[in-house]
Amino acid sequence: MNISEIEDLIRRIPKTDLHCHLDGSIRLTTLLDIAKKEGLPLPADTDAGLNESVFKDRYENLEDYLRTFGLSCSVMQRPEYLERIACELAEDAQADGVRYLEVRFAPQLHITEDMDMKTILVSVNKGLRRAKHDFNMREEVLNGSEPKFHYGIIVCALRSFGAISDYYARFINAHAFSDPRSIHGLASEELARGAVKIRDELDLPIVGFDLAGAESGNPARYHRRAFRFAHANFMKKTVHAGEAYGAPSIFEAITELHADRIGHGYYLFDQSKIEDPAVQDRERYIRELVQYIADRRITVEVCLTSNLQTNPSIGELKNHTFAHMLKHGLSVTLCTDNRTVSKTTVSREIMLAIQHFGLSPHQLKNLIIYGFKRSFFPGPYLKKREYVRRCIDYYEQIVEGTELQEKG
């Protein structure tokens, strides 16, 4: 098989995207259209211009990468815009063969005097639900020859923030005598309480709670009350950890925040990133942490392109620690992180893994299965198990007789 034939197969197989930010996955045409309607200033007025000035191929670091979200969030301040952007994201994912999508975003970035958290979550769900309905009404889905499309919503708390939105500015002013880390933790707890209440009242598929933002100087433990509340209310947890900081950040996500999955996890194996003097045997610390993650099947949401963009020290993709994750038998799944910012798709991420890490048919199948099995699927376990089996069967049907079929 040549590359184009493999790419076609990869697009057709059923996939998941468990780490996909709504505000990082806006169609540029939509961004330009909304900005024009709202009279918002942009650094460029064409797709090409935005890709050159804002959504670049490489960034200096994670903080530089995160600055792109200020522009994205500026066009997400009305219910109809949130609904449109969510619907289009789901449609784009569906076109790439994604059959289960978890969309994450920080609702508190969009709260204004005219739009509360409930309106925000309802609007995003409307867009995703519309895309789901349209896809599942296709003849090939209705007749059972292809699996349905499903989705979940993950709400993101931020490790730290300034007055970056109306809501956060008011929140900071309302706690004028509190230290910043306490304020950040309080905002996370408020988000957790709101997400659980809205989920339960409206039966929305809010399936997970996340912690995002710059790791360095912003330890996860300051958000433990929020995650304990989410944990106590049976909301699953994922945490950005090991993206720009070391193994202790991942350890803290697991032990302090009850993380079911880890976002990125790039620095899991890097001894030089362990700065805690209490850790005297760094090699043993990492070995036991890796063993625990593998044994408990704490899935790592790997985002190859995004990591390459935000971390210049990686150099070439072949240096990514994804190879070590496979070697140690970790449960990993490939994700986009931000489709627009990183100019990628799940299919592209899989092709990169095949080309740079010699991903075998067996390893590929495991990646796909882990994505479905470790998803925060909204609904009863028996329904999830039935759906996962359906997607695996469809996968095997597509790859049968090709080089991607698992041997033996």
Question: Residue 48 pLDDT more than 90?
Answer: no
Does 21 fall in a domain? yes
- pLDDT for res 408: 65
Q: Which of the pair, 56 or 161, is modelled with greater confidence?
A: 161
- 3-state helix vs strand vs coil in the chain, percent to 5: 55, 10, 30
**pLDDT tens track for 386-404:** 999 999 999 999 999 999 9
Question: Residue 60 pLDDT more than 90?
Answer: no
What token pair was written down for 343? 């100019």
Does 407 fall in a domain? no
**pLDDT tens track for 174-214:** 999 999 999 999 999 999 999 999 999 999 999 999 999 98
Q: What is the CATH number of the domain that holds 224?
A: 3.20.20.140
**pLDDT tens track for 359-385:** 999 999 999 999 999 999 999 999 999
Radius of gyration, alpha carbons of the chain: 20
Torsion, Cα 139 143 144 145, to 10 degrees, reads -70
Residue 306 domain boundaries:
3-399
Does 375 fall in a domain? yes
pTM here? 0.96
Does 126 fall in a domain? yes
- pLDDT for res 61: 74
Does 406 fall in a domain? no
Q: Which of the pair, 96 or 58, is modelled with greater confidence?
A: 96
Band of residue 153 on the pLDDT scale cut at 50, 70, 90: very high
Residue 339 is which amino acid?
A: R
Cβ distance 14 to 99 under 8 Å? yes
- pLDDT for res 151: 98
Does 404 fall in a domain? no
Does 242 fall in a domain? yes
Q: Spot the catalytic one: 83, 146, 215, 243.
A: 243
Average pLDDT, the chain: 94
Query: How many domains are there within the chain?
Result: 1
- Whether 38 is catalytic is no
Coil, strand or helix at 250: helix
